[in-house]
């Protein structure tokens, strides 16, 4: 059974934008800036280890938006060890994280092998291609909707309609798993 936190002050969602690799500094700052336009409680961090990241998840964030390079099989690796994406998902679920977004580009095969989310109460977004500057516009549009009351699946459908035969050139390429479709993320 998963524990639930009590309501936050003024219903504000808490956001963590973080990385395990300083090479993502520009993307980290860009994405954090977009979040800051919609949420008052945005923490930005560069972690030196997976252990630091896991401790940060303990601080009860609603959204964890992170940058990392995955090793084959969906492993997050640092000099001290590694963690499978599925273990990070389990930790996020334990701490009532509503959205885990891997915002750095990784291979779809590594996500599929390492990030098992079936049956987990978590919205999971895994980025395959940010599609350059288009990512920021997509993130802005998505956050504008969810911070004002839309659920993530409905905001996603509005931004990236899933129509047979359609291909959206101006969107990032992501895998979206809606394991917590009714979660609200007020700004």
Share the mean pLDDT of the chain: 91
Phi/psi of residue 140, nearest 5 degrees: -60, -50
Pairing state of beta strands 63-67 and 14-19? parallel
Tell me the C-alpha distance between 162 and 78, whole Å: 37
Question: What value, to the nearest 5°, has the Cα angle with vertex 15 and ends 113 and 56?
Answer: 70
Phi/psi of residue 128, nearest 5 degrees: -95, -45
List the pLDDT tens digit at each of the 187 positions of the chain.
Answer: 333 333 334 479 999 999 999 999 999 999 999 999 999 999 999 999 999 999 999 999 999 999 999 999 999 998 888 999 999 999 999 999 999 999 999 999 999 999 999 999 999 999 999 999 899 999 999 999 999 999 999 999 999 887 666 566 689 999 999 999 999 999 9
C-beta of residue 106 within 8 angstroms of C-beta of residue 146: no
Domain ranges of the chain: 11-178
Q: What is the pLDDT of residue 11?
A: 76
11-178 has CATH 3.40.1410.10 classification:
no
The pTM for the full model equals 0.92
């Amino acid at each position: 059974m998963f524990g639930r936190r009590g309501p936050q002050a003024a219903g504000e969602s808490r956001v963590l934008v973080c990385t395990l690799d300083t090479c993502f500094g520009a993307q980290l700052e860009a994405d954090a800036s977009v979040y800051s336009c919609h949420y008052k409680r945005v923490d930005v961090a560069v972690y030196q280890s997976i252990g630091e990241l896991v401790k940060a998840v303990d601080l009860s964030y609603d959204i964890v938006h992170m940058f990392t390079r995955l090793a084959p099989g969906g492993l997050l690796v640092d000099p001290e060890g590694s963690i499978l994406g599925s273990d990070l998902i389990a930790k996020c679920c334990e701490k009532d994280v509503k959205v885990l977004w891997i915002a750095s580009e990784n291979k779809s095969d590594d996500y599929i092998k390492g990030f098992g989310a079936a049956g987990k109460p978590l919205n999971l977004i895994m980025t395959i291609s940010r599609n350059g500057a288009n990512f920021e516009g997509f993130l802005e549009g998505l956050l504008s909707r969810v911070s004002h009351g839309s659920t993530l699946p409905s905001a996603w459908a509005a931004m990236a309609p899933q129509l047979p035969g359609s291909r959206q050139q101006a969107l990032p390429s992501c895998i979206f798993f809606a394991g917590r479709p009714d979660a609200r993320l007020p700004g």
